[in-house]
Chain A
Amino acid sequence: ETGVTQTPRHLVMGMTNKKSLKCEQHLGHNAMYWYKQSAKKPLELMFVYSLEERVENNSVPSRFSPECPNSSHLFLHLHTLQPEDSALYLCASSPGGANTEAFFGQGTRLTVV
């Protein structure tokens, strides 16, 4: 248990559905991250929020929409996804500043049908 909680753990959605992934941390961390992990690919950084401000957007398609309403919560809103978006979506948080590591949640296994 790292203190980063992701819900749901598994999600199956159709290409026309709208769903949201939730990430929560009560570690007092300033930075939160979304990563995508596909089979046979390295972890892809999608978004970074620092102090609730989006500071990184790695050319992610607009069908993925992040939201960080406060420093403890991070959402990833999904709509009109494609089958190739099926992956493990990992949330992480970090205290920020130098000499700090990332703490990961358990991930949400997303399947787009």
Chain B
Amino acid sequence: AQSVTQPDIHITVSEGASLELRCNYSYGATPYLFWYVQSPGQGLQLLLKYFSGDTLVQGIKGFEAEFKRSQSSFNLRKPSVHWSDAAEYFCAVGRAIYNFNKFYFGSGTKLNVKP
């Protein structure tokens, strides 16, 4: 069965500090992996995605993520956090089923940014 684990519910970092959000997945085949961000009361916005190829993927807003098959991980990183990055971040895995995809989401990590 597919599952996504985000072990950190809340993380607080200082503005300008580096950030790493953890994501582990369970999936039998080659996964499609995603990171989304959600501001309060808003929908989810795609930050980046991994389908195949280079295991280090670049996304919007200066984020990147690295796929590590041996660790079943897809951690999100940013070298220098801005106050506007405060939001909730969701990792997801996608599974192709015939002509549609099913998406499985982690429970999210809420990021606070200290001035």
Is the Cβ of A101 less than 8 Å from the Cβ of B100? no
Query: What count of chain A residues pass the 8 Å CB interface test?
Result: 32
Q: Once bound together, how far apart are the Cα atoms of A51 and B99, in whole Å?
A: 9
Binding stretch for chain A, among B20-28, B41-49, B62-70, B75-83: B41-49
B90 at the interface (CB under 8 A from A): yes
Q: With A88-B41, A104-B43, A105-B43 as given contacts, are A96 and B99 in contact (CB-CB < 8 Å)?
A: yes
A12 at the interface (CB under 8 A from B): no
Residue of B nearest to A48 (CB): B100
Mask of B30-54 contacts with A, CB within 8 angstroms, 1/0: 0010101000011111100101100
The interface centre, meaning the residue of B92, B97, B100 with most chain A CB atoms within 10 A of its CB, is B100
Choice from B45, B98, B106 contacting A2 with Cβ under 8 Å: B45
The interface centre, meaning the residue of B44, B92, B98, B105 with most chain A CB atoms within 10 A of its CB, is B44
Residue of A nearest to B49 (CB): A101
Mask of A89-113 contacts with B, CB within 8 angstroms, 1/0: 0101010111111111111010000
Q: Once bound together, how far apart are the Cα atoms of A96 and B103, in whole Å?
A: 11
B101 at the interface (CB under 8 A from A): yes
Residue of B nearest to A99 (CB): B51
Is the Cβ of B46 less than 8 Å from the Cβ of A101? yes
Q: Once bound together, how far apart are the Cα atoms of A45 and B95, in whole Å?
A: 14
A contact set with B: CB distance below 8 Å: 2, 4, 6, 30-31, 33, 41-43, 45, 48, 50-51, 55-56, 88, 90, 92, 94, 96-107, 109
**21 CB-based A-B contacts, threshold 8 Å:** A4-B43, A30-B99, A42-B105, A42-B107, A48-B100, A48-B102, A50-B98, A92-B103, A94-B101, A97-B96, A97-B99, A99-B32, A99-B52, A101-B34, A101-B94, A102-B44, A104-B43, A104-B45, A107-B41, A107-B43, A109-B41
A-B pairs, top 6 by smallest CB distance, nearest first, are A104-B43, A31-B100, A50-B100, A42-B107, A104-B44, A43-B105
